[in-house]
């Protein structure tokens, strides 16, 4: 299709020439803004809106096509939600049915599976007879994969139950869902049988849960349940022993949708910490509220990245206005209903009507009628019928709207919705909340365009939250204010951690790691702190936590896995460049990256441009000295951890060699960098020399803590070295450790003594007099400061003998000095 054809499809062919004159084709289309359209002469707001909505659909379609066909080249480690679906009693069916009828049933069943899974963004890995294995989170992760899986499971169970079959009795599906870390990729990659297999316990668990599910039931693993908050109504099943699992397994049955008012309430509602910071932002919105109450309606747009605290701010606003007389109407968009016309309006109505499954059709209808009567003066039959149609309540009043065109129906619906809000505003101040407008469907957007225009003369504050992927709507109207939420300051993030730990202090190195990795994004801070508390490496010492052992690297919280991976997967073709960058580190240098990737300079540049445009990384400096930095440490970690261990090692080896060959200045200034890459590559012999060099360099700069860390890293790499070579390296490392330990731990510390003792032993073993002298001198300091003169007396004659043997007068002076003190 060309652009002219596309415009004709929208009934806007008059702009074809303008589009062509300005060089707008399908490549540019997704990036067009309302301002661009204005500039090229699309002046009526309605036309601009129509074009932007249609662009949104093109982009959505492109990304859906893309995600279904784009397969990662390499196997990856990922968190996946796996669904197993099976037909109940199919063996019995096959005995009773003619094979042709059976085939017909299977065909219908598979087509349902395919349709439901596709619509929820899943991926059918394979069919096994009447079973289907489905992945959610591959090849494209979504922040809500677990939710998608459950939604798909519930819908599938319902649909299979309704399938028309030749047998005359209903069919039933059994569904098991589990979430966990797996390796996914072409495990069996020979020709035709190529299949995206996964390795890990998760698929097995999903299969076992499916086996124990009752007919028509959807059963979830505990790990899946933890990702769902209160989004669904669940019942806890009794733990059961499953084949292949040592402990009884806790599982849950999903019954249906939950009843929370919003996603925020469902996902964070039960465990809220008090608001931290955001005082200015809250004041700004409150001042708009005061203006609105005077009759000058206002719109406050709150934009910010996921988890930054938009919904929390809205909640704080509602709390602050708790005692004021007002009405509140809240609309919430959903990632699963981006294309369902008027979804937020329908959902809001359904919440106010609070239907229960026991309500009859008549009861529903009369509730709807009385709701409409409360808000619209004398609703006509047509209005009631339209709303009944919108809510899917079949009634006998349909003839009232039978003759109306779709356009007329829409016009009347819009008028009624607007009139409802105007009716409320006529009674007093009104707060309207629209959450997650980046998922607003095009029809609702059109309706909100009208509402925004209309509320200027009403006592209404409309608060809209959205992520930066939506360029701020309605900007330019005098009554619209845009507020962008930034990350919390370090001190605020620290208080957030404190509130989650219930005021108990964390060991400082743990706290620092949490703050460094989460960088003031409240959601990250909350989730990582909770993960740390649950991880079991902290002991509870009453008013504080203590480390029960050495601090392991902090894992990415399972609750964040999907959303972090989703950000990377959106950039599927260039994701590999991000992964290689992540291997280099949070910051990576263009030149070094170029030395590691197998791409031409132009290809690499294009890939980096995409990463920058998607705000995954920031660019600094001018070519060729450009460096890049991941916007979030967590995204870097997710990119890194998605690589298979083997591939990570290869990449580290390539990076280390590239540094050795091309960047002597890095080796001179930061030998620890190349040491780390060699260590991660498993090339310990190469790593060790650089660790030693890094330790000595840091010690020479009095960076003693760093020196100790480098030298200890060196010691950790020699454990499996053969005899003499191990002793030689260890001797050098222990001796180098002595000075920085003396400086930081004090002369009398046992760590200093251990280092020098070990050096004394090793230098004797290797017959190294000068090193032995250094070790003895070190021990001399320790004994002296501890006042352990007897031990000193025992060691100094050996030091004097040694100095004589070495024939170095300076050493002799030192030996006598140390004997004299
Ligand atoms: N200022 C704050 N003080 C205390 N907790 C906060 C603050 N900001 C955010 N949080 C907490 O961080 C988590 C994420 O915040 P929230 O859900 O409001 O983010 P969001 O911007 O609405 O994200 P999304 O785009 O995913 O909807 C929530 O649990 C919230 O309670
Ligand atoms: Mg939110």
Residue spans of the domains in the chain: they are: 3-65, 74-261, 265-484, 490-555, 560-643
DSSP 46-108: HHHHHHHHHHHHHHHHHHHHHHHH---SS-EEEEEEEEEEEETTHHHHHHHS-HHHHHHHHHH
pLDDT over 70 at 186, yes or no: no
Regarding the domain delimited by 3-65, which CATH topology (the fold level of the hierarchy) does it fall under? DNA polymerase; domain 1 (1.10.150)
DSSP 343-380: HHHHHHHHHHHT--TT--HHHHHHHHHHHHHHHSSS--
Q: State the Cα angle at 602 between 598 and 605, rounded to 5°.
A: 90
Distance, in Å, from the CA atom of 704 to the CA atom of 695, rounded to the nearest integer, reads 9
Average pLDDT of the segment spanning 494-523: 92
Q: Kindly state if the Cβ of 165 falls inside 6 Å of ligand 1.
A: no
Q: Kindly state if the Cβ of 229 falls inside 6 Å of ligand 1.
A: no
Average pLDDT of the segment spanning 153-171: 83
At 16-37, the pLDDT tens digits run 888 888 888 877 787 777 778 8
Distance, in Å, from the CA atom of 257 to the CA atom of 76, rounded to the nearest integer, reads 32
* Among 307, 295, 310, residue whose Cα is nearest residue 463: 310
CATH number of the structural domain 74-261: 3.30.70.1230
Distance, in Å, from the CA atom of 660 to the CA atom of 663, rounded to the nearest integer, reads 6
Q: Kindly state if the Cβ of 522 falls inside 6 Å of ligand 1.
A: yes
| Cis peptide upstream of residue 624 (ω within 30 degrees of 0) | yes
Closest residue by CA, ligand 1 atom 7 = 309
Indicate the top mutation candidate among 266, 275, 311 to test ligand 1's pocket, ranked by most ligand atoms within 8 A of CB: 311
Centre of ligand 2 from the C-alpha of residue 202, in Å:
30
At 660-697, the pLDDT tens digits run 998 888 888 889 999 999 999 999 889 999 999 999 99
At 451-505, the pLDDT tens digits run 999 999 999 999 999 999 899 999 989 999 999 999 999 999 999 999 999 889 9
Centre of ligand 2 from the C-alpha of residue 252, in Å:
26
Distance, in Å, from the CA atom of 768 to the CA atom of 724, rounded to the nearest integer, reads 13
Q: Pick the ligand that lies closest to the CA of residue 435.
A: 2
Higher-confidence position of 622 and 518: 518
Long-range CB contacts (< 8 A, 24+ apart) of 698-706? 698/672, 698/740, 699/736, 699/739, 699/740, 702/743, 704/739, 704/740, 704/741, 704/743, 704/744, 705/740, 705/744, 706/672
At 91-107, the pLDDT tens digits run 777 777 788 888 888 88
Centre of ligand 2 from the C-alpha of residue 286, in Å:
19
CA separation, residue 328 to residues 303, 322, 325, 421 (Å) = 21, 11, 10, 10
Q: What is the architecture of the domain spanning 560-643?
A: Orthogonal Bundle (1.10)
Residue 68 pLDDT: 42
Distance, in Å, from the CA atom of 290 to the CA atom of 535, rounded to the nearest integer, reads 47
Centre of ligand 1 from the C-alpha of residue 146, in Å:
20
Domains 265-484 and 560-643 fall in the same CATH topology: no
Regarding the domain delimited by 265-484, which CATH topology (the fold level of the hierarchy) does it fall under? Rossmann fold (3.40.50)
At 555-610, the pLDDT tens digits run 889 889 999 998 888 887 789 999 999 999 999 989 899 989 988 999 999 999 99
Give ion ligand 2 contacts, CB < 5 A: 264, 310-311
């Amino acid at each position: 299709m060309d652009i002219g054809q596309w415009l004709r499809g929208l009934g806007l062919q008059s702009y074809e020439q303008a589009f062509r004159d300005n060089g707008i084709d399908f490549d540019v289309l997704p990036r067009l803004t309302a301002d661009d359209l204005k500039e090229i002469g699309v002046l009526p707001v309605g036309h601009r809106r129509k074009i932007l909505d249609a662009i949104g659909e093109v982009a959505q379609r492109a990304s859906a096509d893309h995600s279904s066909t784009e397969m990662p080249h390499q196997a990856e480690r990922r968190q996946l939600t796996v669904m197993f679906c099976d037909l109940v009693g199919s063996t019995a069916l096959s005995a009773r049915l003619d094979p042709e009828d059976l085939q017909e049933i299977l065909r219908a069943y598979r087509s349902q599976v395919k349709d439901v899974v596709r619509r929820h963004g899943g991926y059918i890995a394979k069919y096994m007879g009447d079973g289907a294995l489905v992945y959610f989170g591959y090849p494209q992760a979504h922040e809500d994969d677990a939710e998608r899986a459950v939604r798909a499971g519930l819908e599938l169970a319902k649909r299979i139950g309704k399938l028309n079959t030749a047998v005359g009795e209903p069919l039933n599906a059994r569904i098991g869902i589990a979430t966990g870390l797996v390796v996914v990729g072409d495990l069996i990659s020979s020709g035709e049988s190529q299949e995206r297999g996964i390795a890990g316990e998760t698929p097995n668990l999903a299969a076992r849960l499916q086996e124990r599910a009752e007919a028509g039931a959807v059963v979830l693993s505990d790990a899946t349940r933890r990702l769902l908050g209160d989004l669904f109504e669940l019942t806890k099943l009794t733990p059961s022993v499953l084949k292949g699992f040592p402990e009884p397994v806790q599982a849950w049955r999903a019954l249906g949708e939950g009843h929370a008012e919003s996603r925020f309430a469902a996902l964070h509602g039960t465990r809220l910490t008090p608001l931290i910071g955001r005082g200015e932002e809250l004041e700004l919105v409150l001042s708009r509220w005061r203006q609105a109450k005077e009759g000058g309606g206002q719109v406050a747009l709150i934009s910010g990245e996921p988890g930054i605290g938009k919904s929390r701010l809205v909640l704080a606003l509602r709390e602050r206005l708790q005692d004021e007389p007002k009405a509140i109407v809240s609309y919430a968009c959903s990632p699963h209903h981006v294309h369902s016309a008027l979804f937020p309006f329908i959902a809001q109505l359904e919440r106010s009507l609070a239907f229960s499954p026991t309500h009859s059709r008549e009861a529903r209808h009369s509730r709807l009628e009385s709701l409409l009567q409360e808000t619209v003066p004398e609703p006509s039959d047509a209005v009631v019928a339209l709303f009944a149609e919108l809510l899917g309540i079949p009634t006998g009043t349909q003839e009232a709207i039978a003759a109306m065109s779709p356009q007329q129906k829409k016009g009347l619906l819009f008028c009624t919705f607007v009139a409802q809000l105007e009716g409320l505003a006529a009674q007093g101040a009104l707060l309207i909340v629209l959450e997650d407008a980046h998922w607003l469907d095009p029809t609702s957007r059109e309706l909100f365009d009208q509402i925004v225009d209309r509320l200027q003369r009403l006592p209404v504050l409309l608060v809209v939250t959205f992520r930066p992927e939506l360029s701020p709507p309605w900007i330019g109207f005098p009554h619209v204010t845009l507020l962008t939420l930034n990350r919390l300051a370090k001190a605020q993030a620290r208080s957030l951690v404190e509130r989650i730990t219930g005021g108990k202090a964390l060991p400082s190195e743990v706290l620092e790691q949490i703050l460094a990795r989460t960088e003031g994004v409240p959601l990250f801070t909350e989730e990582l702190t909770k993960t740390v508390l649950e991880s079991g490496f902290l002991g509870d010492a009453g008013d504080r936590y203590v480390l029960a052992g050495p601090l392991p690297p902090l894992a990415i919280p399972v609750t964040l896995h999907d959303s972090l991976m989703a950000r990377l997967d959106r950039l599927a073709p260039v994701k590999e460049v991000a992964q290689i960058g992540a291997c280099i580190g949070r910051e990576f240098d263009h030149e070094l990256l170029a030395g590691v990737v197998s791409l031409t300079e132009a290809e690499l540049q294009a890939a980096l441009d995409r990463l920058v445009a998607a705000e995954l990384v920031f660019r600094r400096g001018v070519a060729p000295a450009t460096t890049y930095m991941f916007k979030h440490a967590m995204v870097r970690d997710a990119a890194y951890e998605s690589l298979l261990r083997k591939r990570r090692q290869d990449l580290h080896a390539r990076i280390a060699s590239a540094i050795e060959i091309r960047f002597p200045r890095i080796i001179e200034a930061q030998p620890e960098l190349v040491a780390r890459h060699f260590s991660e590559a498993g090339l310990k012999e190469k790593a060790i020399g650089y660790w030693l060099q890094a330790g000595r360099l840091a010690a020479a700069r009095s960076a003693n803590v760093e020196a100790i860390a480098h030298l200890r890293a060196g010691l950790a790499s020699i454990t499996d070295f053969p005899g003499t070579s191990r002793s030689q390296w260890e001797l050098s490392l222990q001796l180098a450790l002595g000075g920085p330990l003396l400086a930081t731990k004090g002369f009398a510390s046992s760590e200093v003594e251990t280092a020098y003792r070990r050096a004394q032993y090793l230098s004797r073993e290797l017959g190294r007099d000068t090193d032995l002298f250094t070790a003895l001198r070190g021990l001399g300091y320790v004994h002296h400061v501890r006042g352990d003169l007897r031990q000193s007396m025992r060691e100094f004659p050996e030091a004097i003998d040694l100095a004589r043997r070495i024939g170095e007068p300076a050493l002799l002076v030192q030996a006598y000095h140390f004997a004299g003190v």
